Amino acid sequence: MKKALRRKKGFTLIELMTVVIIVGILASVSVPLYRAQIKKAIASEGTALVGSVRSSERIYYAEHTAYTDDKDVLNLETFDNKYFDWGDVTITLTGSGTGFSAAAAGRTDSAADGITVTINETGDISYTGL
Section 88-92 average pLDDT: 81
Strand partners, 91: 102
Q: Is the pTM of this model over 0.85?
A: no
CATH number for the domain formed by residue range(s) 12-128: 3.30.540
Question: Residues 47, 125: contact at Cβ < 8 Å?
Answer: yes
**Neighbouring residues of 62: CB distance < 8 A, sequence distance ≥ 6:** none
91 C-beta neighbours (distance < 10 Å), count: 18
pLDDT at 22: 95
Domain-wise residue ranges, the chain: 12-128
Give tens-digit pLDDT for 98-128. 888 888 888 888 878 888 899 888 888 998 8
Question: Residues 99, 66: contact at Cβ < 8 Å?
Answer: no
The distance of Cα 33 from the centroid of its chain, to the nearest Å, equals 13
Amino acid at the residue 49: L
